[in-house]
Structure 1
């Protein structure tokens, strides 16, 4: 009977689905009750005698065809989630398997969210389940006896594997090279940049957590209140995971539109929700880290990560920077085969990535990417950066668009007594449409917030989330609620906000900026200053501010007060008035086109030997109005009346009446300014009383035009004059060469004025003496090249210290009209302050990233080496500059 049944079934290709009981006869057992038995038994009935057919029916009944008892007794179904033990991030593409008696394996792979489902047959060789994934330590766990089980893994990074070196013979031809060459060849048809336009709906989720909390930190009062929550943290982390303390979580849904030729893009934020410690405006989070922030195109030669350019493993120069290994030529995903290639940088300190990617076999397109910044990369504070991406091909095109992206950023502890941070970003794109026509009006604003963007509606999220929150995800939200309401946590959050913003909020008033609190200089001695500004708890339109300081040497009070009013946030429009009574410095008066004010720098120049910088007492009344004409163009109109009362000897002879001498003077001027920042994003917030901008459109320049006219006789002003200025500044990302920064300024003053009202250039030139040169027409260029690790990554000692090199050049071409130069000769000094026909040039080199925060520049004065000062002294030809900076 057995042989006859076997001889019938094998040629008819009937197989057993559950590999049990009936497998001896290789007959397919279908668990679907709707499947008709006659589809299998009819051909059997035609070929076998009646009694044998009856025996088959009897066997099938005993074997469990109708109730599946045999299969249920032997099959085990295992589900679970695999995460990184340290960060808690889901690990996609991990192989999960059991070993079979015949020496083979049965396995499954985790999906993008780290989830797997594995049906385990009866003929396993061991009672364990295993995991395997590149750069992680393999793991093993016992299989429970239950039919349905959940087994979660927390995998540890295999540092030895990451540092492994492969040695191959010179004659070796890497099979991955041909695949990579074809991939580069097919970039034009696979890259989404070929599309005329595209759109999709995006869902992104963000989580920020504290991790690696030191024992010293746990003893602090704030964490003693949190320690009872540690049991919940351990449950979230898993048996082998590192507990992390969530402090912020958010979700955002938005529609994203992109158009080529001309390049336009816009994001319409539909809904956002967030919960976190110290979050002032939850809608800002969705604007700061929306869809645009999470977009990465690996087909580009460089990827912008943390403001730095990382070499893409799909770069046109892939063979120059990376080593590749074809680990599987027939890796199957959802029934389709892919090339699986591992890669790592040739020089470990380069800004490059390490990981694994999957490439389609038909079109050589990128399908999946799992890439991390190498542990030895020349970066500060970031101990881990990882990008996981899965692509999709929309209908009607050969191009591929990211469907799911996950980014994990781990920030190392600044000291042994603090903690680190983990930031997780998840992006899912659905409803992709390509090559549609869009009206120009759609791109009028780069960021649009819906009217009900922050509406509380859990039903909306349940219906519109692109995935489902797990039980662990829900515990994260609950834990944040508990943590943020602890009084001590609120205090720490306020202190952290002070460090970032410069102000400490107390109710309706924010005190600061704190860098100005104490200063010391040779004229005033020790100075103590107390200041503040109102916040949105006082008013979201009216802003009151000011400060009061006292100098112990000259025993004088200095003070300031201001009133600002925001009459529109879209477009941003405001006006204000202020009054100031304090010391000014001629050497730091002008040539300031900083986009964002630097409180640390402005506070630092109030220290030291200010008597050499042309100090003077000033009373300044100022009024202004500004508005955004369009999102990228800001207009500003100023009126300023000021007095000049010098603290060092000063006299100015009127060029039209030499007998008239000024020892003090007053000015009244009106200024107009236009600033164009193409590509900038203006963020909208009703809870922060200042114009917030992000980025400047990649490498786009910022252009500022400024005109000033002085009115003689207005409020007893002493001079008529005109001033014209233009400034262009830009940051240039240059790939492996690093990043360049330049500021180009031109100025023209066609009027007769004291030297204190022309341009005194010490502001940007470190080897120039204060008040040494002045111009009423000039052009200046300051340029800095941050070379990252281009040179130092090849020098062992500097490589281990993560030292980076920097180059500097500053050039000034300027002149002083005869009438203004004669005023110097017959006025305060006989020294010629004009550059004449010789440009001023200084150049230098430096090293940065010393102890991660120190930069040292060595600057050389290359021209005007014989220019004497009033005491007949030659200038120094060399200067050293030490600065503190925070650069990743």
Structure 2
């Protein structure tokens, strides 16, 4: 008899070979059933090439379920799925058309997606019953209630190391553009561009790439910030100074705080999706009540603006369930926003909560700007900004001198060291990134590209570089007025290739009606770049205009100064002038600039002029003055950028809504040929104030006092900011003026059907002047034909309204003269109490 154990052993001995084969077969079947497919790839925007984070990538399983993963912040994914998965892999994300690609037969593979934006998303309308209570509303209420706890503004200080990367590329490379001469040398690169773009993507031509590592510190009270740039790496077309680029990137782009009601972007205020008044501006949908990321339970909420054309966002936010904090955000400016030139603005941000606080700080930020709305046939630009912060420390106490300099740079800032970048990059460069660097180096060295870069620089700076000399500024090349007729002018200045300290400049012009030559020569010398200090001397023989001599405290742009040399200048008090001027300028502190000027100039009028001096009982039909002028300007928040290769003082911004204040004192002396001794005092404050949905206000307040007896051209002849005032109509020796403009953006026009499609914006103007003129300065009726030159105690008021952004460049103002409406001129003619002002401007 066999017992059970003996029986089993007997069977195994007799059938062992067959049993082993069966066992192997079963194990293989089991292994095949559990064999997995392993896929990875990168998902990008088909239009801009930007990486897309948070995209869901999935395959369909036989049991009618899905195996899914999501892309990380760099748009990368890794998906492991059973062998029995379907024959396709999918990618889906809000705002994009779902993408689908076939799965390869192999067990592993790289599958990249280029996803196309879904332009129909905003046009969808959700209809809900009146009794419907949106579950997202309670979440948004709690987000607002917990703002003070989660906002980084609660921290007394914070500090971190920041990695910044900026990529610029040309997009919309049309077939017509490919036929141009500049592109023929680049065409061999197009195949590589297409491969980088992918099957569904559009090829873009990279022209600039930079990386910067810096240490950033912020202190709340008193509010101070400083940045120390450690290392920079720059490659790009037309770059003069890579250290300058690193400062611009590091200081102008740090982070965006969505806990504030408005997010400042491109100089405009966009409504935050978690603004205190969120229900007024946005529609929300809770798309996932139990999302989980990085071990945290989150709410996922999609949103879009309630009103077309508002400066608002569309996108997705992830809110933590425990503290109602903003954990992730992925937003784009609504495509129909009242914004020029920028076809797309997208912000993606991931937050981190440092130990020891409830506040959250941006850890990773990406911004994509797509400029392509200038002309349909023109190429556009894509800017891709990426920032990653690490080593975050909070509530530190800094030494007193820690914020002495708002910006400093390491001595090794431009050192070439690949190992440094490999260690300090948040993620290693992809093969495509390496190819971008190589391609930029190829493109920038093409002779035709260098020529185009020089032309672009001329259009921006006004000068065209030819070796060691830059010719220009080009707006002055030709002008026409009723005194000189047609005027041709040729000028230029030396550039950095001549000297990084000495700058020589000058021009010569000829009038074809008066047959006279005018000219200028100047020498400037830069003593120091930190603090910036320079000296200069110049001599000018040229026409000037009484109506445009003194009023403008703000530095006028080249186009405006060139334009006032045209037209009927006889009504503006033209005169010939010989002007010998020397100055010394220095930054006495980070926010203070001091200038001392010595000036000796003549006044030879081209109109009937006579002045009787009560001081010496002499009559003057022309005169000379010698002046010493001291000026002190305070620009809080403005940063002076350091450049060893650009021979001019370059500043960046003036802080958030900070004023610019200027004090000026002028003392005239009788030495060196001067005919009069006098004093002048003047001050100005200028400021731009951002007001959220009400747009932006701009004001300038100017005051002056001249206690001396002087001829009228040396007094204040008001006209610069008053378009309904005639030239030389009013003169003052004591005065105060206010000019104010309110840019209402689309506050009104965005609510008007048809009009809102034009993207025009409204403006309001208000200008007022109060001044007086003593009797010895002509306050009583003059011996000239003008009845009076004084305001006679009645302020001059001008008000108006306008429309800007007409065809993106034009602004039209309609201005009304409110007071002095019956003030006749020397011929007895009343004034025109209405004026239309047409101007060109570049505003986003």
TM-score by length of 2: 0.96
Instruction: Kindly state the Cα deviation for residue 334 of structure 1 after the two structures are TM-superposed.
Output: 2.7
Of 509-518 and 814-823, more deviation after overlay is shown by 814-823
* Structure 2 Cα separation of the partners of residues 58 and 350 of structure 1: 75
**1:670 equivalent in structure 2:** 628
What are the superposed Cα offsets for residues 305-338 of structure 1, whole Å, 9 maximum, x if unpaired? 1000000001011111001000000112133321
**1:19 equivalent in structure 2:** none
What are the superposed Cα offsets for residues 211-256 of structure 1, whole Å, 9 maximum, x if unpaired? 0123322221001111111010011111110000000000000011
8 Å contact kept, 1:523–1:610:
yes
8 Å contact kept, 1:323–1:344:
yes
Structure 2 gap ranges (5+): 1-8
The 5-angstrom pairing of residues 374-453 of structure 1 reads 374-453=334-413
Instruction: Kindly state the Cα deviation for residue 562 of structure 1 after the two structures are TM-superposed.
Output: 0.4
Instruction: Kindly state the Cα deviation for residue 748 of structure 1 after the two structures are TM-superposed.
Output: 0.2
Tell me which of 659, 679, 694 is aligned to 2:652.
Answer: 694
Instruction: Kindly state the Cα deviation for residue 163 of structure 1 after the two structures are TM-superposed.
Output: 2.0
**1:841 equivalent in structure 2:** 797
Change (3 A) 1:551 1:824: farther
Instruction: Kindly state the Cα deviation for residue 68 of structure 1 after the two structures are TM-superposed.
Output: 12
* Structure 2 Cα separation of the partners of residues 298 and 568 of structure 1: 41
* Structure 1 Cα separation of the partners of residues 495 and 30 of structure 2: 70
Instruction: Kindly state the Cα deviation for residue 200 of structure 1 after the two structures are TM-superposed.
Output: 0.7
**1:75 equivalent in structure 2:** 36
Instruction: Kindly state the Cα deviation for residue 823 of structure 1 after the two structures are TM-superposed.
Output: 7.7
* Structure 1 Cα separation of the partners of residues 561 and 536 of structure 2: 21
* Structure 1 Cα separation of the partners of residues 296 and 573 of structure 2: 75
**1:89 equivalent in structure 2:** 50
Instruction: Kindly state the Cα deviation for residue 414 of structure 1 after the two structures are TM-superposed.
Output: 2.3
Change (3 A) 1:108 1:819: same
The 5-angstrom pairing of residues 563-578 of structure 1 reads 563-578=523-538
Tell me which of 614, 619, 631 is aligned to 2:578.
Answer: 619
8 Å contact kept, 1:653–1:823:
no
* Structure 1 Cα separation of the partners of residues 513 and 527 of structure 2: 43
**2:731 equivalent in structure 1:** 774
The 5-angstrom pairing of residues 213-228 of structure 1 reads 213-228=173-188
Q: Does 1:875 align with 2:831?
A: yes
Q: Does 1:599 align with 2:558?
A: yes
Q: Does 1:131 align with 2:91?
A: yes
Q: Does 1:107 align with 2:77?
A: no
TM-score by length of 1: 0.92
**1:46 equivalent in structure 2:** none
Change (3 A) 1:829 1:823: farther
**1:886 equivalent in structure 2:** 842
SS of the aligned residue for 1:825 comes to coil
* Structure 1 Cα separation of the partners of residues 295 and 506 of structure 2: 69
The 5-angstrom pairing of residues 449-848 of structure 1 reads 449-594=409-554, 596-658=555-617, 660-712=618-670, 714-821=671-778, 825-826=782-783, 828-848=784-804
Change (3 A) 1:551 1:406: same
8 Å contact kept, 1:268–1:448:
yes
* Structure 2 Cα separation of the partners of residues 750 and 829 of structure 1: 25
SS of the aligned residue for 1:159 comes to coil
8 Å contact kept, 2:33–2:83:
no
8 Å contact kept, 1:214–1:416:
no
* Structure 2 Cα separation of the partners of residues 387 and 409 of structure 1: 9
What are the superposed Cα offsets for residues 102-122 of structure 1, whole Å, 9 maximum, x if unpaired? 111110000111011110113
SS of the aligned residue for 1:461 comes to helix
What are the superposed Cα offsets for residues 440-469 of structure 1, whole Å, 9 maximum, x if unpaired? 211111111111111111121112112110
8 Å contact kept, 1:204–1:291:
no
8 Å contact kept, 1:252–1:273:
yes
* Structure 2 Cα separation of the partners of residues 269 and 69 of structure 1: 58
**1:33 equivalent in structure 2:** none
Q: Does 1:203 align with 2:163?
A: yes
Of 379-388 and 335-344, more deviation after overlay is shown by 335-344
Of 829-838 and 356-365, more deviation after overlay is shown by 829-838
What are the superposed Cα offsets for residues 373-397 of structure 1, whole Å, 9 maximum, x if unpaired? 0100000000000000001111111
* Structure 2 Cα separation of the partners of residues 60 and 813 of structure 1: 107
* Structure 1 Cα separation of the partners of residues 723 and 421 of structure 2: 56
**2:191 equivalent in structure 1:** 231
Tell me which of 836, 848, 861 is aligned to 2:817.
Answer: 861
Change (3 A) 1:58 1:751: farther
Instruction: Kindly state the Cα deviation for residue 291 of structure 1 after the two structures are TM-superposed.
Output: 5.2
Q: Does 1:152 align with 2:112?
A: yes
**1:6 equivalent in structure 2:** none
SS of the aligned residue for 1:284 comes to helix
8 Å contact kept, 1:652–1:823:
no
SS of the aligned residue for 2:689 comes to strand
Tell me which of 233, 242, 249 is aligned to 2:202.
Answer: 242
CA RMSD between the two structures: 2.0
Structure 1 gap ranges (5+): 1-48
8 Å contact kept, 2:634–2:660:
yes
What are the superposed Cα offsets for residues 488-547 of structure 1, whole Å, 9 maximum, x if unpaired? 100000000001111111111111111101000000000000110111100000000011
Instruction: Kindly state the Cα deviation for residue 610 of structure 1 after the two structures are TM-superposed.
Output: 0.1
**2:3 equivalent in structure 1:** none
Instruction: Kindly state the Cα deviation for residue 413 of structure 1 after the two structures are TM-superposed.
Output: 4.8
* Structure 2 Cα separation of the partners of residues 613 and 841 of structure 1: 21
Instruction: Kindly state the Cα deviation for residue 59 of structure 1 after the two structures are TM-superposed.
Output: 11
Change (3 A) 1:314 1:221: same
* Structure 1 Cα separation of the partners of residues 551 and 251 of structure 2: 37
What are the superposed Cα offsets for residues 709-738 of structure 1, whole Å, 9 maximum, x if unpaired? 0002x1111101100001000000000000
Count the aligned residue pairs: 833
8 Å contact kept, 2:486–2:513:
yes
Of 292-301 and 80-89, more deviation after overlay is shown by 292-301
Runs of 4+ aligned residues of structure 1 deviating over 6 Å after TM superposition are 57-61
Of 430-439 and 162-171, more deviation after overlay is shown by 162-171
* Structure 2 Cα separation of the partners of residues 293 and 63 of structure 1: 62
* Structure 2 Cα separation of the partners of residues 404 and 264 of structure 1: 23
Change (3 A) 1:472 1:719: same
8 Å contact kept, 2:779–2:789:
no
8 Å contact kept, 1:271–1:450:
yes
What are the superposed Cα offsets for residues 81-109 of structure 1, whole Å, 9 maximum, x if unpaired? 10000000000000000111111111000
8 Å contact kept, 1:205–1:249:
yes
SS of the aligned residue for 2:778 comes to helix
Of 366-375 and 217-226, more deviation after overlay is shown by 217-226
8 Å contact kept, 1:548–1:559:
yes
Change (3 A) 1:630 1:824: farther
* Structure 2 Cα separation of the partners of residues 140 and 297 of structure 1: 36
**1:26 equivalent in structure 2:** none
